[in-house]
């Protein structure tokens, strides 16, 4: 094996171990977690704020092909998808699929 392929295998192994170890611990301790506890709400807020920061970064400072779309188009797509998110009772699937379709259609029209 070349040096590059052995590094890739090592990276895949380490990330797999980290992922499945954390999931296994989650399964083991899931019965002891109170969903209404302060620590659980803290982690929930951190997860949502991280997601909001990532989405904001992609919308405001896009990279790649998304950078070709105007700011107005990106903000229209975000606004529509946020509305769809709340209409569908906080389902993430519909706005995610809609965002790709809507952005593609709007870019072709403009």
71 domain residue, yes or no: yes
Q: Which domain holds residue 99?
A: 50-109
Q: Give per-residue pLDDT as tens, 10-61.
A: 889 999 998 999 889 888 888 887 888 898 889 889 998 998 899 889 888 8
Domains in the chain, number:
1
Q: Are 59 and 74 in contact (CB under 8 A)?
A: yes
87 domain residue, yes or no: yes
79 domain residue, yes or no: yes
28 domain residue, yes or no: no
Q: Give per-residue pLDDT as tens, 88-100.
A: 998 889 999 999 9
36 domain residue, yes or no: no
* pTM over the 0.95 mark: no
4 domain residue, yes or no: no
């Amino acid at each position: 094996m070349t040096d590059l392929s052995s590094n890739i295998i090592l990276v895949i192994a380490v990330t797999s171990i980290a992922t499945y170890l954390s999931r296994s611990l989650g399964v083991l301790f899931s019965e002891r977690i109170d969903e209404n506890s302060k620590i659980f709400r803290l982690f929930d807020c951190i997860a949502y704020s991280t997601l909001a920061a990532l989405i904001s970064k992609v919308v405001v400072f896009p990279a790649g092909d998304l950078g070709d779309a105007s700011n107005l188009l990106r903000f229209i797509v975000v606004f529509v998808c946020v509305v769809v998110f709340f209409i569908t009772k906080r389902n993430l699937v519909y706005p995610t699929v809609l965002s790709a379709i809507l952005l593609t259609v709007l870019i072709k029209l403009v």
